[in-house]
Amino acid sequence: MTEKADLTGKVFGHLTAIRKWGKAADGHTKWLCQCDCGKQTSVTTQHLTSGHTTSCGHVKRDRNHTIAPGYEAKRVDGVAVFLLSDKRKKRIDNTTGYTGVKKTHYKNGSTHYVASINVAGVHHHLGTFNTIKEALEARKAGEEKYIPKNKRGDKHDASKRS
């Protein structure tokens, strides 16, 4: 669909295009849209016609509120301990096979390993090391330091389980 198309009255998911609403910074036409939930939002022609945007955001918010209680029940002091388990599948972009340790290549050809940990939304850099073994030791020490024993993955205190 071209930018000159008249989308007035057309429905895109939960959004109904009301009228043109100016131009976005990239030059695409913006439309004022009415969402099924009652809110109005502006969306580019490109995002409407491609299906990229189908609501004012209420669908995602509703989904998050539905999912969140299940996750919140498993959190301990705001830490998602269920995400810390060694039994989790490794990410596809994990180059070392170990959570919290990544391989770094320098211009001079050397390879180092960086250990880090994220706890309750805070990133902790644990160091850069010459060997993967040193980085793993630092990661384990970081887990001991930043995650109290009764809050680590499958090492939960049995009295906290329901």
CATH classification at residue 98: 3.30.160
Domain stop point among 17, 45, 74: 74
Q: What is the dihedral of CA 56, 58, 59, 60, to 10 degrees?
A: 100
As a whole number, mean pLDDT of residues 45-68 equals 83
Check residue 65 and give its pLDDT. 65
Tell me the C-alpha to C-alpha distance, in Å, between residue 31 and each of 45, 60, 61, 62, 91: 7, 21, 22, 24, 38
Q: Retrieve residue 23's tokens.
A: 């131009």
| Position 38 confidence tier, pLDDT thresholds 50, 70, 90 | very high
Q: Which residue, of 34, 52, 74, is where some domain finishes?
A: 74
For residue 63 the two structure tokens come to: 């989904």
Q: pTM of the full predicted structure?
A: 0.47
| Tens-place pLDDT, residues 62-105 | 776 666 666 666 666 666 666 666 667 777 888 898 889 999 99
Residues 134 and 109 in one domain: yes
Task: Report the number of distinct structural domains present in the chain.
Answer: 2
For the stretch 88-100, what's the b/e string if a residue is b when 16 or more beta carbons lie within 10 angstroms of its beta carbon?
A: eeeeeeeebebbb
Does 59 map to a domain? yes
Domain boundary among the residues 46, 74, 102 is at 74
DSSP 40-90: EEEEEHHHHHHTS--SSSHHHHHHHHHHHHHHHHH-BTTB-GGGS-TTSPP
Residue-range definition of the domain harbouring residue 56: 1-74
Confidence band of 15 (pLDDT split at 50, 70, 90) = very high
Mean pLDDT across the chain, nearest whole number? 82
Q: What average pLDDT does this structure show over 106-127?
A: 91
**Predicted confidence (pLDDT) at residue 16 exceeds the cutoff of 80:** yes
